[in-house]
Amino acid sequence: MRNLVQDTPSAPSITAMPDAREVLLETRGLGFETNGHRLLFDVDLKIRRGSRTVIMGPNGAGKSLLLRLMHGLISPTHGDVLWRGHALNKTGRKDQAMVFQRPVLLRRSAKANLKFALGVRGEKGEKRNGLIQKALAAAGLSHLANRPARVLSGGEQQRLATVRALACQPDILFLDEPTASLDPTSTAAIEQLILEANANGITIVLVTHDAGQASRLGQELIFLQDGEIAETGPAQRVLKIPRSAPARALRDGQLYVKN
Ligand SMILES: Nc1ncnc2c1ncn2[C@@H]1O[C@H](COP(=O)(O)OP(=O)(O)O)[C@@H](O)[C@H]1O
Ligand SMILES: [Mg+2]
């Protein structure tokens, strides 16, 4: 591990109280290399059940790649992703869900998008209908249930994608810049859905460029730079008193340029 500024556990002198909650997801020496280029190096992380982790860092730092690896969408070329202590596999992946920056919706109505996702999870009949109504209401989309998903506004689409992911009752939800192209009202609606989901026990891992959002949602913060962890720690500490150069640059509103 190099250039790592970390609060816990390898630097006990600056450690906050260790969190006793179960480690839901762990990466050990995680890396990804393609065409001789190492895009992600030596990522060691522990995501605890019920926590909210925010990942920040400049474009190309490897944030989306890290999410994809943790979600098992791609396989690592180095290291491991452990889910509840075992190698992440197809069964483990069923307990995970992901929301992308640009929502991926079916060419069907808002309601049918939910119906399909719940059907894949084995829900049917009255129970499924109930879950659909609940999800539409949570997204504030009950009145748009029969509208084709792809004609909904950006904010409505992202709310639909978020409640669709949550309707599958995952243990962990990954979100990759879910509000990057949304206005403040839509952003607030998505943030509320995320906080409610977390209050109901769903573990959150969110990528954002928005320091305000990181502060509102984050408990742990991971700062990635050039495919490596530059710094990790409690979100408020990393945002206010950053120890690494890239995180300091973000706080100070400067462009970080590596020497
Ligand atoms: N499957 C892939 N094959 C080749 N290069 C990739 C792949 N995925 C990501 N990259 C490259 O890895 C780097 C990190 O990408 P990404 O994780 O999307 O960055 P971020 O989300 O932090 O902006 C970029 O240089 C990107 O072009
Ligand atoms: Mg990205």
Of 169, 193, 223, the residue at which a domain comes to its end is 169
CA–centroid distance, residue 206 to ligand 1 (Å): 17
**Do residues 112 and 54 share a domain?**
no
Of 169, 189, 207, the residue at which a domain comes to its end is 169
**4, pLDDT greater than 90:** no
**14, pLDDT greater than 50:** no
CA–centroid distance, residue 254 to ligand 1 (Å): 23
With pLDDT > 70 as the criterion, what percentage of the chain qualifies? Answer: 91
- Biggest alpha carbon–alpha carbon distance for the chain: 61
Give the residue numbers spanning the domain of 62: 1-95+171-259
The tally of domains found in the chain comes to 2
The chain-wide mean pLDDT, for the chain, equals 91
- pLDDT band at residue 1 under the 50/70/90 scheme: very low
Do 163 and 134 touch, CB atoms closer than 8 A?
A: no
What pLDDT shows up at residue 12? 39
**Do residues 58 and 153 share a domain?**
no
DSSP states of 65-93: HHHHHHTTSS--SEEEEEETTEE--HHHH
- pLDDT band at residue 252 under the 50/70/90 scheme: confident
CA–centroid distance, residue 233 to ligand 1 (Å): 24
**Do residues 179 and 85 share a domain?**
yes
**Do residues 177 and 61 share a domain?**
yes
Pocket residues: Cβ below 6 A from ligand 1? 34, 39, 57, 59-65
Mutating to test ligand 1, I would choose from 37, 39, 67, 77 the residue with most ligand atoms within 8 A of its C-beta, which is 39
**Do residues 29 and 123 share a domain?**
no
Q: In sequence order, what are the beta bridge partners of 6?
A: 232
**Do residues 63 and 9 share a domain?**
yes
DSSP states of 46-65: EEETT-EEEEE--TTSSHHH
**Do residues 177 and 91 share a domain?**
yes
Q: Which range among 64-68, 93-97, 244-248 shows the weakest confidence by mean pLDDT?
A: 244-248
Residue nearest atom 2 in ligand 1 by C-alpha distance = 34
**Do residues 53 and 87 share a domain?**
yes
**Do residues 147 and 207 share a domain?**
no
